[in-house]
Chains A and B, each alone.
Chain A
Amino acid sequence: QVQLVESGGGVVQPGRSLRLSCAASGFTFSSYGMHWVRQAPGKGLEWVALISYDGRNAFHADSVKGRFTISRENSKNTLYLQMNSLRAEDTAVYYCAKSARYAYLTSDYWGQGTLVTVSS
């Protein structure tokens, strides 16, 4: 079955960097796009980024453009999110999600999430 396990979250000071990872299993990772979605404490879902199956195309939300970069390593079945210049408003649970079999731009499986707290 599909498994997505995020790691790399933690407490980080404003302006610093953090890299999240998502280990995928149970499906052919190199055949599917992958997403990052976040949820601030007590708030709604915010789509963050998407990368194509081969890593050639990536899209980022305006709120993170120029600061965050999505990437992937298909040989390791791993998705990444490099987060630079972190702000307090980036505090959230970050979920990785697999592109749906029926549509590249949405998701059908999500990981359990990893919490990122940006605080001095």
Chain B
Amino acid sequence: DIQMTQSPSSLSASVGDRVTITCRASQGIGNYLAWYQQKPGKVPQVLIYDASTLQSGVPSRFSGSGSGTDFTLTISSLQPEDVATYYCQKYDSAPSTFGPGTKVDIK
């Protein structure tokens, strides 16, 4: 099965900073990648699908890029409400494996 990794595992940044999270697949998955945000105590919400398509209602400061094995999620200007854990998920084929997550908080 294809394995998913994320880096860093956690980060702390200031309000207004640009934040980048990386997700890597052990084999190529095309652009079949989604990013989820899970705020503390809440249910995960999809932010981006097909690697770069913003889900309806998601702020434009979130963006995604990449294809094949390397993907990034960027928050252009970090806001206090963005404190959360971010997960990538591959969906080229079953199993639809999640990455281990990246915890983002405010410095």
**Residues of chain A whose beta carbon lies under 8 Å from any beta carbon of chain B:** 35, 37, 44-47, 50, 59, 61-62, 95, 100, 102-103, 105-108, 110-113
**Sampled A-B contacts (27; CB under 8 Å):** A37-B98, A44-B85, A45-B38, A45-B101, A47-B89, A47-B95, A47-B97, A47-B98, A50-B94, A50-B96, A62-B1, A62-B95, A100-B34, A100-B49, A102-B50, A103-B32, A103-B49, A103-B50, A103-B91, A105-B92, A105-B96, A106-B34, A106-B46, A106-B89, A106-B91, A107-B46, A108-B49
Across-interface contacts of B99 in A (CB, < 8 A): 44
B90 to chain A, nearest CB (A): 8
Identify the closest chain A residue to B87 (Cβ).
A45
In B65-107, which residues have CB < 8 Å from any A CB? 85, 87, 89, 91-101
Select one of A59, A61, A110 contacting B43, CB under 8 A. A110
**Number of contacting residues on B, CB 8 A?**
27
| Chain B minimum-CB-distance residue to A58 | B94
Contacting residues, chain B, for A100 (C-beta < 8 A): 34, 46, 49
Q: Within 8 Å CB of B32, what residues of A? A: 103, 105-106
CA of A103 to CA of B44, assembled, Å: 17
Residues 4-48 (chain B) with a chain A CB within 8 angstroms: 32, 34, 36, 38, 43-46
